[in-house]
Chains A and B, each alone.
Chain A
Amino acid sequence: MKITNQVVEKHGLKTEEYSSIKKLLKREPNLLELGIFSAMWNEHCSYKSSRKHLKNLPTKGKQVIQGPGENAGVIDIGDDDAIVFKIESHNHPSYIEPYQGAATGVGGILRDVFTMGARPIALLNSIHFGSPDHFKTKSLLNGVVSGIGGYGNCIGIPTVAGETKFNSTYNENILVNAMAVGHAKKDKIFYSKAKGLNKSVVYVGSKTGRDGIHGASMASAEFDENSEEKKPTVQVGDPFTEKLLMEACLELMKDNSIISIQDMGAAGLTSSSVEMASKGELGIEIHLDKVPCREENMTPYEMMLSESQERMLIILEDGKEKHAKEIFKKWDLDFVVIGKTTDTNKLILKYNNIIEGEIPINALASKAPIYDRKWIKKKLTKSKVDIKKLKKIKIEDALIKILSSANHSNKKWITNQYDQMVMCDTAQKSGSDAAIIRIHGKEKAIAVSVDSSANYCKAHPITGGKQIVCENWRNLISVGARPIAITNCLNFGNPENPEIMGEFAECLLGIKESCEFLNYPVVSGNVSFYNGTNKKNISPTPVIGGIGLISKFKKPINHQFKKNNSTILLIGKTFGHLEQSVFLEEIYSISDGQPPEINLVNEKNNGENILEIIKNNLVNSVHDVSNGGLIITLAEMSMGSNCGVKINKPKKLTNLLKYFFGEDQSRYVLEVDKNNLGKVEKILKNNNIFYENIGSTQKDYFEIQGELKIDIKELYKINDRWYNNY
């Protein structure tokens, strides 16, 4: 086949990129080689647009064992324990085929974690759909939720936390981000870097089929009216095989047989082999006739670009083949030596001993293009919303409208479809600020949470970026965990558009600022560009997944009120910032203005002292104040618990709507026993933390003095309705 301009374009490569390929090879590539370049040089694998900006993120810290650049990040949680975690997007496949797209998203991120020697202990997800009345939303929601559940439930890893949001910006491009967390021994972490010459390169796992060919290239382009035709590029998941692969790998990892190991994720056999060779500064030779195939007559091109799931590449120590093969045989999995490491620094592909392709490794890795894309600063609106000019609404009506909306309803319809309890270490399930997972057989636990705030990021990317890190940090603090590190999934539109690139660059600046100030490094992540269809881009949606440590875990703390007649403290200052709030969006459909500012000094001070208060066992419940403001926070603390609350009228802020619905940052609500109040107040005062005593818990009713009084069971019903009626 002749490589024409059309063929080049079909492979998602630009003309100038093709010229560099020819220069690097000193000749024209054949089709197989072109396919391999396209797989390695696309945005998804090469990070060519994002790399320059990602470099600025803080990635180091006392507890960081491995930062970005490996299959997942690794942090030290004391003793000989390490936590391995990462988040990744599977947006494009999930829009085309929601069940398989979401399922393989979970499968892929799990492989990233157990490849490193960790047993996965928790799954999380952040999923964003279009408007509920868009004709595709309902089937996408159903498909994605059952896909996530289908994979996690079958493999037997609990899905413990997540977020689900609806916004018309995702009408034609949903987001499905999956995060996996694993536990490993600190001195038994496995990496992808190849070492040593003439070592066996082994293929294990499922057979290779024709599914997912060019998946990574698909994920590096915008959708258009022909996107439906891309269905064949979506992979099909088999959680059962992944379970076997996981057990087999973990069994082999118990001794010293493995030099390096890499899962075949995006761009399959191509990226796994190139990655291993590139990191080890070696060459690799693969005999494609030995690759186990599911279908007949597969070509080298198809084998190298297939994204069939549940496959791994392993480089073994000499003489370990027999031992390793026995383990994979026990689990009924393929195990074939398909090649070896070489000193050629080339990827050499042979079929029946005839060379089909030959590419210098560095041409695919370090010499891949990096772009310093043009970006422009966000033009910020100065518009302010004058609440007095809006149609009047009663607090009670606004509260009910928000609690019964798609975005703020109880998510049990979703979370009940996920096995949250398997492995028997889930001490706190989803529905709280963060889930808590006990480290198996130990007295410590980790807290996990994922968060995003696309509307804040859209209005002011820097503040938005700052805010999501803080929001995530606060969620971990609220369950008594010390935040350690994050992973991020950066979902953006088309990076070739300077405005979109600007959103990306500025969100990252915000993330960097918070991470640095809070000493909360980024240890892994993923960038997903080209989220949009026909030039319409999604709102910038960076998603943060955070891990916190509870070193002495005695009982879980959550957001639900525990006792009648305890005091309610509101920590942090309330200014009544309504722009970009849930209130304006849900009640008036107004999305103008700037998001609330964040004072990082207060953020850190408030958080650290609340952690101290929780550690000293001085509170009954804690909840951070986030979307929807104080009133939604209080409602969430009441619903599903045994007591309600009575809130006094505020003394200072006269506009009650601003007081109750404002989304000022760095705030928490604490439920404190009367006899602990003195001790708590002392800590707060000694550390110059602003707080207010706003009322107390009471039996049965959610009440704001002189404004509203609702039975908490009624409130729960209101909040529980939306999904069941959708």
Chain B
Amino acid sequence: MNSSVIVFPGSNCDRDIAIALEKMQFKNQMVWHKETKLPKSDLIVVPGGFSYGDYLRSGAIAGKSLIINEVIKAANDGCLVLGICNGFQILTETGLLKGVLLRNQNLKFINKDVNIKVINNDTKFSNKYKKDQVLKINIAHNEGNYFTNPNHLKELNNENLIAFRYCDENGVVNKDSNPNGSLENIAGIFNSKKNILGMMPHPERMVDNLISNTDGVNLFSSLLN
């Protein structure tokens, strides 16, 4: 499977995701933001970091960059797109995913391992997980507090477009298990065609037992499936 990782100035999880993809046998290429053409890709990853310093608003400038037009075209043609952390913020800025990511409720950067629950496992991104499976995944962000309008929230729920929710280690989704104030503990969402996933947690950080755990591995093996 061919993957492309978009590199913006200020991306800083680009190497991490590339290593995870290569470990999972993806044929990966790095694509610089000034490029105007994407290589042939089955999967495009918009990685985490602080694209363009996140000045103005996180993801805002990247959402208007040269390469992002190509990402939008590819996504609309059905290519799989995964946005992680800053990548999720960028995808909401482009409109490929609806909603916004606000400042964390405590107004601080949060880095820790959190539990998330697999809500929809019937997608290209999550078919190797069990439904309601609890994963422990690292988060690291200032703006991860997902918000959207009531109609879209209804759509997310009714169409099964919520990928993950923050929960406790037993899978209980409540206020205490919500690290950043996200609406309904949402940690990741799909678009209506389910070819685009945006998520705040970092699956690429969870592919090596010596460093963390391997709860992120199945996201990549789902894609290969």
- Interface on A for B, CB 8 Å cutoff? 146, 149-150, 153-156, 238-241, 243-244, 331-332, 412, 415-427, 438, 553-556
Q: Give chain B nearest CB distance to A374 CB in angstroms.
A: 47
Residue B190 CB within 8 A of the other chain = no
Residue B204 CB within 8 A of the other chain = yes
Other-chain contact of B108, A146, A240, A553 (Cβ < 8 Å): A146
- Beta-carbon contacts of B27-66 to A below 8 Å, as 1s and 0s? 0000000000000000000001110111100000000000
Q: A417-B110, A421-B205, A427-B210 are in contact. Are A156 and B12 (CB under 8 A)?
A: yes
Categorize the interface residue count of chain B: 20 to 34
- B15 to A423, Cβ gap below 8 A? yes
- A239 to B111, Cβ gap below 8 A? no
- B210 to A419, Cβ gap below 8 A? no
Other-chain contact of B211, A155, A419, A438 (Cβ < 8 Å): A438
In the docked arrangement, what's the CA distance between A421 and B9, Å? Answer: 20
Other-chain contact of A419, B9, B10, B111, B212 (Cβ < 8 Å): B111
- A421 to B110, Cβ gap below 8 A? no
Closest chain A residue, CB of each to CB of B16 = A424
6 example contacts (A-B, Cβ-Cβ < 8 A) are as follows: A150-B109, A153-B111, A156-B13, A243-B10, A419-B140, A424-B16
Closest chain B residue, CB of each to CB of A424 = B16
* Residues on the A chain within 8 Å of B110, using CB: 416-417
* Residues on the B chain within 8 Å of A244, using CB: 9-10
- Beta-carbon contacts of B53-95 to A below 8 Å, as 1s and 0s? 1110000000000000000000000000000000000000000
Within 8 A of A (CB), among B179-219: 202, 204-205, 208, 210-212
Other-chain contact of A153, B20, B140, B205 (Cβ < 8 Å): B140
Q: Give chain A nearest CB distance to B47 CB in angstroms.
A: 10
- B210 to A555, Cβ gap below 8 A? yes
Residue B112 CB within 8 A of the other chain = yes
- Taking A154-B54, A418-B109, A427-B210 as given, write out 18 further A-B residue pairs in contact, using a Cβ cutoff of 8 Å, ordered by the A residue number: A149-B109, A153-B50, A153-B140, A156-B49, A240-B54, A243-B12, A243-B50, A416-B112, A417-B111, A421-B111, A421-B140, A421-B202, A421-B205, A421-B211, A421-B212, A422-B12, A438-B211, A553-B210
- A424 to B10, Cβ gap below 8 A? no
* Residues on the B chain within 8 Å of A154, using CB: 10, 12, 50, 53-54
In the docked arrangement, what's the CA distance between A153 and B20, Å? Answer: 20
Residue B224 CB within 8 A of the other chain = no
Other-chain contact of B109, A153, A332, A412, A553 (Cβ < 8 Å): A153
In the docked arrangement, what's the CA distance between A553 and B15, Å? Answer: 22
Residue B19 CB within 8 A of the other chain = yes
In the docked arrangement, what's the CA distance between A51 and B30, Å? Answer: 48
* Residues on the B chain within 8 Å of A417, using CB: 108-111
- B109 to A146, Cβ gap below 8 A? yes
Within 8 A of A (CB), among B97-123: 108-112
- Interface on B for A, CB 8 Å cutoff? 9-10, 12-13, 15-16, 19-20, 48-50, 52-55, 108-112, 138, 140, 142, 202, 204-205, 208, 210-212
Q: Give chain B nearest CB distance to A164 CB in angstroms.
A: 16
- B16 to A423, Cβ gap below 8 A? yes
- A424 to B9, Cβ gap below 8 A? no
- B50 to A240, Cβ gap below 8 A? yes
Other-chain contact of B9, A243, A438, A556 (Cβ < 8 Å): A243
* Residues on the B chain within 8 Å of A331, using CB: 9
Q: Give chain A nearest CB distance to B89 CB in angstroms.
A: 14
- B208 to A424, Cβ gap below 8 A? yes
In the docked arrangement, what's the CA distance between A642 and B106, Å? Answer: 29
* Residues on the B chain within 8 Å of A241, using CB: 53
Q: Give chain B nearest CB distance to A223 CB in angstroms.
A: 29
Q: Give chain B nearest CB distance to A435 CB in angstroms.
A: 12
Closest chain A residue, CB of each to CB of B50 = A154
Q: Give chain A nearest CB distance to B87 CB in angstroms.
A: 14
Closest chain A residue, CB of each to CB of B204 = A424
- B9 to A332, Cβ gap below 8 A? yes
Q: A240-B9, A243-B9 are in contact. Are A419 and B16 (CB under 8 A)?
A: no
In the docked arrangement, what's the CA distance between A553 and B205, Å? Answer: 19
Closest chain B residue, CB of each to CB of A412 = B112
* Residues on the A chain within 8 Å of B49, using CB: 156
Q: A154-B50, A239-B53, A416-B111 are in contact. Are A421 and B138 (CB under 8 A)?
A: yes
- A155 to B202, Cβ gap below 8 A? no
Closest chain B residue, CB of each to CB of A333 = B9
* Residues on the A chain within 8 Å of B202, using CB: 421
* Residues on the B chain within 8 Å of A332, using CB: 9
Q: Give chain B nearest CB distance to A181 CB in angstroms.
A: 17
In the docked arrangement, what's the CA distance between A225 and B96, Å? Answer: 55
In the docked arrangement, what's the CA distance between A332 and B20, Å? Answer: 29
- A240 to B140, Cβ gap below 8 A? no
- B211 to A422, Cβ gap below 8 A? no
Q: A240-B9, A240-B10, A243-B12 are in contact. Are A438 and B210 (CB under 8 A)?
A: yes
Which residue, of B15, B53, B211, has the highest number of chain A Cβ atoms within 10 A?
B211
* Residues on the A chain within 8 Å of B10, using CB: 154, 240, 243-244
- A238 to B111, Cβ gap below 8 A? no
Closest chain A residue, CB of each to CB of B19 = A424
Q: Give chain A nearest CB distance to B151 CB in angstroms.
A: 34
Q: Give chain B nearest CB distance to A448 CB in angstroms.
A: 16
Closest chain A residue, CB of each to CB of B140 = A419
- B111 to A155, Cβ gap below 8 A? no
Q: Give chain B nearest CB distance to A248 CB in angstroms.
A: 10
* Residues on the B chain within 8 Å of A426, using CB: 211
Q: Give chain B nearest CB distance to A104 CB in angstroms.
A: 15
* Residues on the B chain within 8 Å of A419, using CB: 109, 111, 140
- A240 to B52, Cβ gap below 8 A? yes
* Residues on the A chain within 8 Å of B138, using CB: 421
Sorted nearest first, the 10 A-B pairs with minimum C-beta distance are A156-B12, A240-B53, A154-B50, A419-B140, A424-B16, A419-B111, A417-B109, A421-B138, A240-B10, A421-B205
